[in-house]
Amino acid sequence: MNRRTPLLLGLVALATLFAFAVFWLASPTNDAVSLVFAPSSFAPVEAELDAGLAAAGIGPVEWAFAGSQTLVAQLVDGAPADALITADLTTFDAARAANVTWPGEESIASNVLVLAVAAGNPGDVRGLEALEDADLVIGSCAVEVPCGRLATAVTRALGVTPAPDTEETSARALTAKLLAGEIDAALVYRSDARAAGLEVIPVDDLDAFVNEYRGSGNERGMEILRWLASGAGKRILIDSGWGP
């Protein structure tokens, strides 16, 4: 065999793969997939949402999960999407101001924070004042992200000054640290705590502080958002810890 033959065969194979990729990307099936940018707190219910959407004849849907601020930044950088959901109105307003939303908007659900602890409550956490205890390892959401803004509103209103040892960009990251026993306590979303099976310490008045999840989308995206905001979609979210 000519020594050039393997090289030519390799080039032919690469060209074939490239042509297949171009065909797949341009195919109607792929075009029918709706891409939804959603906060990481939606990740634990992805399977339930996909099943519900399929039963309703909506989709298929591809989810991109990340912190709300990261999702907006990606859209600003030109990432394609059919819908955006943010975990608070401040971030949604920033997305609207950056012209990365669509005319259609929908209020999806709400979420509140709970005081969650590591398995077995090794820090003997009994209330919100534990967030001030220098002898405990405390986690917090960064103040510039939705869960951090909500936590700041909570602690200021209830007269607590947290002394966090670590700051994360999402409540999901805090949930992971609690599960791993890396921190003793943190304020995380109720939906994340429920999905992870975390132990929660009851705290009066936390339910008074709420983040509204709001979405915007194109025609296909709005069909998904309307389903999430009512009927079967809303029931899935509420059963998983969200509020109306």
CATH class of 113-208: alpha beta
- Domain residue limits, the chain: 1-26, 32-109+213-239, 113-208
**Superfamily of structural domain 32-109+213-239:** Periplasmic binding protein-like II (3.40.190.10)
Cα–Cα–Cα angle for 123, 142, 39, rounded to 5 degrees: 105
Intrachain domains 32-109+213-239 and 113-208 with the same fold: yes
pLDDT for 26 equals 34
Cβ 104 vs Cβ 217: under 8 Å: yes
What count of other Cβ atoms lies within 10 Å of the Cβ of residue 22?
Answer: 10
Element (H, E) at 150: helix 146-157
Q: Tell me the whole-structure pTM to 2 decimals.
A: 0.84
Tens place of pLDDT per residue across the chain (244 aa): 443 333 333 433 433 333 333 333 333 334 589 999 999 999 999 999 999 999 999 989 999 999 999 999 999 999 999 999 999 999 999 999 999 999 999 999 999 999 999 999 999 999 999 999 999 999 999 999 999 999 999 999 999 999 999 999 888 899 999 999 999 999 999 999 999 999 999 999 999 999 999 999 999 999 999 999 998 999 999 999 999 8
Amino acid 43: pLDDT: 95
Structure tokens at 196: 């992870």
Query: How many residues are listed for the chain in this entry?
Result: 244
The pLDDT of residue 31: 59
